[in-house]
Amino acid sequence: MLSDGYHDVDPTKIVTIETSLEMHARPPERPAPAPPGARLVRLGNVAAEEYLDLYRAVGRDWLWFMRLALSEAELLAIVRDPLVEVYRLEAPQGVGILELDFRQPGACELSFFGLSPGLVGTGAGRWLMNQALDLAWSRPIRRFWVHTCTLDAQGAVAFYMRSGFVPFRRKVEITDDPRRGGKAPPESAPHFPLIG
């Protein structure tokens, strides 16, 4: 545990606060129309580059980098696992990602969820979350969970709570800043500037 107070951090590192949230039953529905011209496509047997293009389109501004740090074999072992479902929201304004991980018996992790900038604020997030809830709870699970961090959109925790998730854990993560190692573009996450 970190002690109270301020702690200096090496400028080559990033520090985030991660909030984990869960639900143990399907919440009441919050209807939302599909974005005009939108469709949700499951990416079965997805190629690494196709997956990473989607991951970058959605996660670039939020400094998503964990999947960029994997080898192609490591990435494909996850996204092609029969218990992992990857979906792409396709719409005229942009794309979204929905990734569900059923590898833990009785549970589903909402591994990745987000929209490219053109879809933010259009209602597409609510519609995509409804798809996530339907897909997750169509399986015999007892727990649906997600984690988000301070690099994500400011309203992410509140959005997940409105969707029926309840916070259960908070952690601090310190890791190398991926913009310094070439795993993420230097202009990623302008709300979290590089130091030095």
pLDDT tens per residue, range 147-177: 999 989 889 999 999 999 999 999 999 999 9
Q: Tell me: the pLDDT tens digits for 45-93?
A: 999 999 999 999 999 999 998 999 899 999 999 999 999 999 999 999 9
Report yes or no: 88 and 97 within 8 Å, Cβ to Cβ: yes
Q: Tell me: the pLDDT tens digits for 26-38?
A: 999 899 999 999 9
Does 195 or 78 have the greater pLDDT score? 78
CA 14, distance to chain mean position in Å, is: 18
Tell me if 185 is assigned to some domain. no
Tell me if 88 is assigned to some domain. yes
Tell me if 193 is assigned to some domain. no
**Quick check: 99 pLDDT over 90?**
yes
Q: What's the pLDDT score for residue 112?
A: 97
Q: What is the largest CA-CA distance in the chain?
A: 51
DSSP-derived 3-state class of residue 3: coil
How does residue 129 score in pLDDT terms, banded at 50, 70 and 90? very high
- Residue 171's domain is classified under what CATH number? 3.40.630.30
Tell me if 196 is assigned to some domain. no
Averaged pLDDT, 127-137:
98
Tell me if 99 is assigned to some domain. yes
CA distances from 71 to 80, 83, 109, 182 (A): 14, 20, 22, 14
The domain in which residue 58 lies consists of 13-176
User: For the chain, how many structural domains are there in total?
Assistant: 1
Tell me if 128 is assigned to some domain. yes
Tell me if 7 is assigned to some domain. no
Tell me if 191 is assigned to some domain. no
